[in-house]
Amino acid sequence: MIWQLDLAILTLVVVCAIAAISVKDLLGSAILFGAYSFMMCLLWAIMGAVDVAFTEASVGAGVSTVFFVAAVFRSTRRTKD
């Protein structure tokens, strides 16, 4: 485990998480959540949990982002608050 890489990815996870809840555009929020999932996938791969990383990459970063985009497409793109 390379600690520099670990630290960089952890920072990106936190940045993506904060950005995903604070962005006003819901489509952007969905994409940021996908990026967050992908960073978590990288973290799990670094820690050696390859099965979990695979699940996160396919479910979290892949299909759930599509679901979010579809839901945004059928509702509004802008949050009220």
Q: Interface with another protein by CB under 8 A: which residues? A: 47, 50-51, 53-55, 58-59, 62-63, 66-67, 69-71, 73-74
Q: Would you say 51 or 78 has its CB closer to another protein?
A: 51
Minimum CB separation of residue 46 from another protein in Å reads 11
DSSP 9-58: HHHHHHHHHHHHHH-SBHHHHHHHHHHHHHHHHHHHHHTT-HHHHHHIII
Bridge partners (DSSP) of residue 40 are none
Q: Would you say 8 or 66 has its CB closer to another protein?
A: 66
